[in-house]
Amino acid sequence: MFKILSELFFTFAKVGVMTFGGGYAMLPILQREVVDNKHWATDEELTDYFAIGQCTPGVIAVNTATFIGQKNQGIIGGIVATLGVVFPSVVIISILAGFIASFSHLPLVINAFAGIRVCVCVLIFNAVLKLWKSAVKGRLALIIFLVVSVGSLLFDISPILFVVIAALIGVGLVQFGYIEKEEKK
């Protein structure tokens, strides 16, 4: 049991240390480590954990790590994965906090952060494309995606409301038999 718990901790520590820009930026790394390499979750499960992590209090990255750790090793696994994902940030922030005020005005630092922001946008875009492949299957899923996309652009509404509405629509479509067999796969 110690081996799997240490593997959970160090895997999520690796994810945590590579995460610049928040939870969305970590999705490609999470997908590679948790789905492709470790097989601790499927693409669909990771998408679900991310959606639930967005709706629950706290940081998406931490919530997702907790869900995956708990799925694999129960409560202790959730705690260990959570500690793993936050540990690098605590160390890095503690070190940077003492120096950032002294260097934040330098053009080199300003330009470095501008470059990091652009890189994070690309990572998020790649994550969206990967999620798209596993989540938007069939015409009705595409319609839900488009409605939520347009709604989130036009209205300043909590993402929780969008997730709840999409979930209710999904349940209703299955319940009333509107989802075709090929869309259930």
Rounded Cα distance between 41 and 112, Å, is 34
Which residue range forms the structural domain that includes residue 180? 136-185
pLDDT digits (tens, 9 = 90+) for 62-78: 899 999 999 999 999 99
Q: Residue 26's closest CA among 107, 81, 102?
A: 81
Quote the pTM value. 0.61
Q: How far is CA 101 from CA 87, 97, 105, 140, in A?
A: 22, 7, 8, 50
pLDDT of residue 183: 45
170 and 86 together in one domain:
no
How many Cα neighbours within 13 Å face the side chain of 48? 10
Of the three residues 92, 108, 134, the one that is the final residue of a domain is 134
113 and 141 together in one domain:
no
54 and 127 together in one domain:
yes
The per-residue pLDDT string of the chain (185 residues; one tens digit each, 9 = 90 and over) reads 889 999 999 999 988 887 666 667 777 888 889 999 999 999 889 888 888 887 777 778 889 999 999 999 999 999 999 999 999 888 888 887 777 778 888 899 889 889 988 988 888 888 788 778 878 888 888 888 898 889 999 998 888 888 888 888 888 887 887 765 444 44
Burial of 75 (0-12, 13-18, 19+ CB in 10 A): exposed
Number of domains in the chain: 2
73 and 90 together in one domain:
yes
Which residue type occupies 61?
A: A
Task: Pull the structure tokens for residue 106.
Answer: 């330098």
7 and 61 together in one domain:
yes
Q: Left, alpha or beta for 21 (phi > 0: left; psi -120 to 50: alpha)?
A: left
